[in-house]
């Protein structure tokens, strides 16, 4: 499987700070933040599947826009996969005819431009020889992490989460983990805000990593704009067993 980072910043602030979106192969998005806006129209039209971790704006901002941009060009709906709570929020607060038209009823309910597919934590979704499994995460709104499996290795993406023993257990149950993308939104000086907003800070990331078995490559994502050097220095200073590098927009991970 091939994962391209379209955006991995915790906020906006110039062309290097797009919010979270990963392009998996050519047809799948994992989260749908502002990074999706850099894809060409033909690349957008090739997206069949969008897996959403949670409903926050920085992870869903481009869903309404992509459906409107390519709906007419495609012969089949785009499917948005998320846990039922997240789908409910998207229906009630985004695709409600006020913020955006309800594209699950356009052009008509039988052949819509957009489908919503509920998923369950721990239940694998198979797409050809690839699979994606939602894992438990702990954020200020209902949220999941994802394990992606291309048949020759696995990658876990934490989404937005604070420390969660259930997520540690789920990650350690992955049988062939090669890469772990984990967030660290705030530096340790903002530990209180990290706790209030259910994110991780460097000290928490280090504690989290010390509970991870095996030797996955660790990539840090979702750092708030302007905090990159500080967060990465603090993670290095915390001295976890696993080395971590900052995930970069444009980076490609093959596994
Ligand atoms: N008390 C708070 N609770 C949650 N989010 C907050 C709070 N104060 C500020 N925020 C910001 O609101 C943002 C919403 O998206 P994030 O969870 O990525 O990051 C959050 C913080 O940057």
Q: Determine the pLDDT at residue 172.
A: 98
Closest C-alpha to ligand 1, atom 17: 197
CA of 181 to the centre of ligand 1 (A): 20
Closest C-alpha to ligand 1, atom 11: 197
Show me where the domains of the chain are located.
2-254
Q: What is the ipTM of this complex?
A: 0.95
Ligand 1, CB cutoff 6 Å, lining residues: 10, 56, 58, 140, 160, 185, 193, 196-197
pLDDT band (50, 70, 90) for residue 213: very high
CA of 117 to the centre of ligand 1 (A): 27
pLDDT for 63-97, tens place per residue? 999 999 999 999 999 999 999 999 999 999 999 99
Report the distance separating Cα 28 and Cα 129, nearest Å: 14
CA of 197 to the centre of ligand 1 (A): 5
pTM beyond 0.90: the answer is: yes
**Closest residue by Cα to residue 19 from 9, 5, 29, 6:** 9
Instruction: Give domain 2-254's CATH number out of 3.60.15.10, 3.30.70.20, 3.40.640.10, 3.90.25.10.
Output: 3.60.15.10
Closest C-alpha to ligand 1, atom 7: 197
Phi/psi of residue 61, nearest 5 degrees: -50, -35
**Looking at the chain, which runs of residues are DSSP E strands?**
2-7, 21-24, 28-32, 49-51, 78-82, 114-118, 125-127, 130-136, 144-149, 154-157, 177-183, 217-221, 244-246, 252-254
CA of 173 to the centre of ligand 1 (A): 30
CA of 198 to the centre of ligand 1 (A): 8
Q: How far is CA 4 from CA 1, 28, 78, 242, in A?
A: 10, 11, 19, 23
Q: What is the mean pLDDT of residues 107-120?
A: 97
Q: How far is CA 8 from CA 138, 149, 249, in A?
A: 19, 20, 6
Closest C-alpha to ligand 1, atom 2: 197
């Amino acid at each position: 499987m091939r994962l391209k980072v379209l955006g991995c910043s915790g906020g906006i602030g110039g062309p290097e700070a797009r919010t979270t979106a990963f392009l998996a192969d050519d047809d799948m998005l994992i989260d749908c933040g502002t990074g999706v806006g850099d894809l060409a129209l033909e690349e957008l039209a090739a997206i069949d599947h969008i897996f959403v971790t949670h409903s926050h704006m920085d992870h869903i901002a481009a869903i309404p826009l992509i459906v409107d941009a390519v709906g007419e060009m495609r012969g089949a709906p785009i499917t948005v996969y998320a846990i039922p709570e997240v789908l409910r929020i998207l229906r009630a607060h985004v695709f409600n005819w006020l913020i955006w038209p309800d594209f699950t009823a356009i052009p008509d309910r039988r052949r819509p431009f957009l489908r919503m597919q509920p998923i369950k934590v721990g239940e694998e979704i198979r797409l050809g020889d690839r699979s994606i499994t939602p894992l438990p995460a702990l954020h200020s709104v209902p949220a999941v992490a994802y394990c992606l499996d291309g048949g020759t290795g696995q990658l876990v993406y934490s989404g937005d989460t604070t420390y969660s023993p259930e997520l540690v257990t789920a990650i350690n149950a992955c049988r062939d983990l090669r890469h772990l993308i984990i967030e660290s939104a705030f530096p340790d000086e903002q530990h209180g805000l990290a706790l209030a907003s259910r994110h991780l800070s460097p000290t928490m990331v280090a504690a989290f990593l010390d509970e991870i078995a095996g030797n996955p490559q660790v990539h840090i994502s979702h750092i708030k704009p302007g905090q990159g050097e500080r967060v990465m220095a603090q993670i290095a200073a915390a001295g976890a067993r696993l080395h971590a590098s900052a995930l970069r927009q444009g980076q490609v991970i093959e596994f």
